[in-house]
Chains A and B, each alone.
Chain A
Amino acid sequence: MSEKTATREAYGKALVEFAKTYDFVVLDADLAEATKTGMFKKEYPDRFFDCGIAEGNMISVAAGLAAAGKTVFASSFAMFAAGRAFEQVRNSVGYPHLNVKIGATHAGITVGEDGATHQCLEDIALMRTIPGMTVVCPSDAIEARAAVEAAIKTYGPFYLRFGRFAVENVNDRPDYRFELGKGVLMRDGTDVTIIATGIMVGIALEAAKLLENENISAKVINIHTIKPIDREIIIKAAKQTGAIVTAEEHNIIGGLGSAVAEVVCENCPVPVLRVGIEDRFGQSGAVLPLLNEYGLTVENIVAKAKLAKKLSKS
């Protein structure tokens, strides 16, 4: 069993690591301890600016800094960065296509005990509708670090989606390479494709193992970059397996499942079944019971994979 790390932890560490090489500043809105930008604040106090509990202002300040030539990370919880400050992200950052990297932590249901008001299940949908916005949802700490570096090296607005909950590494292999906009084939298969993002990648891999026990060969693709999405890998998988299941820690409306369905139905229509939050608000609870309650489970992916395969043949 490999070590468990929350992607927000990896984000904080990456900011500190890359600060030595790259010139950027970091903003937060009174959540530096939780978002882990506090690590950067400690090491680089002159490059860190707390904006207080005023996320709208923070995003527009970030835009102003970027308009004056700075590379800027702006952090808060996903709910407040993508939700509360949506219009600032759209109009101050997106429209002028400024070099602002939104480091949004505590995305999804795995926020846990804080409950519905803090569990952002809409951020991928909101952010991917902004023209020119790159949306990345890393699956583990290794990918989170790589995504931060890619964001620094690539001009333009980014939405980086990190989680609170510690997850096992799924990319711990010597040949791992992060390429923005490229899906990663995690496991090959011929009967059905599971396309997952974020913490659901690890769960999808477990589901594929269970399916193998039942003689169903599942391909698993990790889509870390939800926008621009890797059309090629999705179309190829649809053609090869004829059935797709998507898995995300997000509302099934507007997120990865929708993005995949858009590509599939325009290019090679095959059944696409979506695992995700089924248009509900979250609630308080420990992470594992919540994942069960909302169907973000190995069992649900397995069941949907079998159904997709069946639909594909009928």
Chain B
Amino acid sequence: MDKIKIDELQQTANKIRLGVIKSVHAAKSGHPGGSLSIADILAYLYFEEMNVYPSDPKCDKRDRLVLSKGHTAPALYSALALKGFFPFEELETLRKAGSRLQGHPDMKGTPGVDMSTGSLGMGISAACGMALAAKIDRKDYRVYTILGDGESEEGQVWEACMFAAHYKLDNLCVILDYNKLQIDGPVAEVIGPAPFEDKFAAFGFEVMTIDGHDFEQIEAAFKKARETKGKPFAIIADTVKGKGVSYMENQVKWHGAAPNDEQYEIALSELSPKN
């Protein structure tokens, strides 16, 4: 990947982060920490990896993304807005009565949202269903799902993994956002779901661990996922919760809190393009 491409993707990820901060600030609630940790992955997915059609959001041949960690909807909405599914300004309606941008993704209301999620553990199963549908219909679209590390404590996640491997869903790519924090504290202290590589491998996945903020590594992982045949692929993305906003980075309290006006200004200045 050349430097220009990397710069472009970094700028896109930055804009996704800006959208997250703006929308969560306007909503006065939401989940910025885990939204910021997946911004780079979403930038790569929507601007490099996936075939999507903003003017025809339900196009049958599109690749699908299921945000299994549905509470980080602000990042998804921000990416979708930047991609042209709806106006960027609409992000400020997040979580407000009558808005298309529900607190958790709603496939019926929001253009570009492929599955309603929010209750943890269910999205990855739905992604398996979509990947199986592609196999049944002999279609070549791919299905991506972003999973939280805390979310992996739900037993259904592993039921889904068993299913994905059994039905050889090599058109399914699971991205685990390993940001190491959940509501009650560090993931390792709450219940300790690691080691993820061993678990996914034992469940029949091809696994690759990357720095989830490094676009060259992100690209390499998605490339390897496409090349892997006969089994599903899991990317363990080592990330920083709150990435890009200094005071949010690696802080549990920013899992589900909105910045006040002063904090908002700091975040904006940190995320605004510097010349």
Whether the Cβ atoms of A54 and B129 lie closer than 8 Å is no
Is there contact, CB below 8 Å, between B132 and A65? yes
A56 within 8 A of B: yes
* A294 in contact (CB, < 8 A): no
Q: Of residues 25 to 57 in B, which have CB atoms within 8 Å of A's CB atoms?
A: none
Partner of A61, one of B107, B114, B128: B128
Distance between Cα atoms of A36 and B38 in the complex (Å): 44
A56→B163 CA distance, assembly (Å): 12
Asked if A182 is an interface residue, CB under 8 A from chain B, the answer is no
Contact A65 to B167, CB < 8 A, known contacts A54-B162, A92-B116: no
When the two chains form the complex, which single residue of A52, A60, A91 contacts B129, counting CB atoms closer than 8 Å? A60
A43 CB to nearest chain B CB (Å): 16
Q: Is the CB of A70 within 8 A of B133?
A: yes
A59 to B108, CA, bound (A): 18
Chain B, residue nearest A90 (CB)? B119
Q: Closest approach, in angstroms, between the C-beta of A62 and any C-beta of chain B? A: 6
- Interface members, chain A 57-102 (any B CB < 8 Å): 57, 59-70, 72, 87-88, 91-92, 95-97
Assess whether B129 is in contact with A68, with CB atoms less than 8 Å apart: yes
Among candidates A57, A70, A97, residue contacting B125 with C-beta atoms closer than 8 Å: A57
Contact A97 B162 (CB under 8 A): no
Question: A68-B134, A96-B108, A96-B115 in contact; A63/B129 too (CB < 8 A)?
Answer: yes
> How far does the Cβ of B153 sit from chain A's closest Cβ, in whole Å?
14
A178 interfacial by beta-carbon distance below 8 Å:
no
**A11 vs chain B, min Cβ distance (A):** 22
B159 is an interface residue with CB less than 8 A from chain A: yes
Identity of the chain A residue whose Cβ is nearest the Cβ of B154 in the assembled complex: A56
A 92-143 contacts with B by CB, 8 A: 92, 95-97
Q: How far is the CB of A55 from chain B (nearest CB, A)?
A: 9
CB distance from A66 to the nearest CB of B (A): 7
In the docked arrangement, what's the CA distance between A249 and B137, Å? 40
B132 engages A91 (CB within 8 Å): no
Give, as a whole number of angstroms, the nearest-CB distance from B135 to chain A.
10
In the assembled complex, B4 has its CB within 8 A of some CB on chain A: no
**Measured between alpha carbons, how far is A60 from B145 in the docked complex, in Å?**
14
B80 at the interface (CB under 8 A from A): no
B208 at the interface (CB under 8 A from A): no
Check A51 against B163 for contact (C-beta < 8 Å).
yes
Once the chains bind, are A64 and B115 in contact (CB under 8 Å)?
Answer: yes
**Contact present for B159 and A54 (CB under 8 Å):** yes
Question: Do B130 and A56 have beta carbons less than 8 Å apart?
Answer: no
Nearest neighbor of A50 in chain B, beta-carbon distance: B166
Q: Is A237 an interface residue (CB 8 A)?
A: no
Determine whether the beta carbon of B116 is less than 8 Å from that of A64.
Answer: no
Docked Cα-Cα span, A96 to B127, in Å, equals: 14
Given A25-B136, A91-B119, A64-B108 contact (CB < 8 Å): no
Give chain B residues whose Cβ lies under 8 Å from the Cβ of A49.
132, 167
Does B225 make an interface contact (CB < 8 A)?
A: no
Which single member of B114, B119, B163 contacts A67 (CB below 8 Å)?
B114
Q: Are B116 and A91 in contact (CB under 8 A)?
A: yes
Give Cα A96–Cα B130 distance, bound, in whole angstroms: 15
Residues of chain A with a CB closer than 8 A to B163's CB: 51-52, 54, 57, 61
Q: Mark B120-151, 1 if CB is under 8 A from A, else 0.
A: 01110111111111101100000000000000
B7 located at the interface, meaning its Cβ lies under 8 Å from any Cβ of chain A in the complex: no
**A56–B116 contact, CB under 8 A?**
no
Q: Across the interface, do B129 and A66 meet the contact criterion of CB distance under 8 Å?
A: yes
Is the pair B125, A56 in contact by a Cβ cutoff of 8 Å? yes
Bound CA span A68–B123, Å? 14
Please, which residues of chain B bring their CB within 8 A of the CB of A54?
156, 159, 162-163
Contact present for A63 and B162 (CB under 8 Å): no
Chain B nearest CB: distance from A147 CB in Å? 24
Q: Which residues of B contact A52 (CB under 8 A)?
A: 159, 162-163, 166
Complex interface residues of chain A between 23 and 57 (CB less than 8 A to chain B): 25, 46-47, 49, 51-52, 54, 56-57
User: Which single member of B125, B130, B156 contacts A68 (CB below 8 Å)?
Assistant: B130
Shortest Cβ distance from B128 into chain A, in angstroms? 5
Are A67's CB and B107's CB within 8 A?
yes
| Residues of A close to B119: CB separation below 8 A | 87, 91-92
Asked if A57 and B114 make an inter-chain contact with CB atoms under 8 angstroms apart, the answer reads no
**A62 lies within 8 A of B129 (CB):** yes
Query: How distant is the Cα of A69 from the Cα of B66 in the complex, in angstroms?
Result: 16
Q: With CB as the reference atom, state the residue of chain B lying closest to A100.
A: B129
* Other 6 A-B pairs with CB < 8 A, given A60-B156, A60-B160: A49-B132, A54-B156, A57-B159, A63-B125, A68-B130, A70-B136
20 of the cross-chain contacts (CB-CB < 8 Å) are A46-B136, A49-B167, A51-B163, A56-B156, A56-B159, A57-B160, A59-B125, A60-B129, A61-B163, A63-B115, A63-B129, A64-B131, A66-B129, A67-B129, A68-B130, A69-B133, A70-B133, A88-B122, A96-B107, A96-B116
10 A-B pairs with least C-beta separation: A64-B129, A60-B125, A68-B133, A64-B126, A57-B159, A54-B159, A65-B129, A61-B129, A96-B116, A64-B130
Q: Which residues of B contact A (CB under 8 A)?
A: 60, 64, 66, 106-108, 114-116, 118-119, 121-123, 125-134, 136-137, 155-156, 159-160, 162-163, 166-167
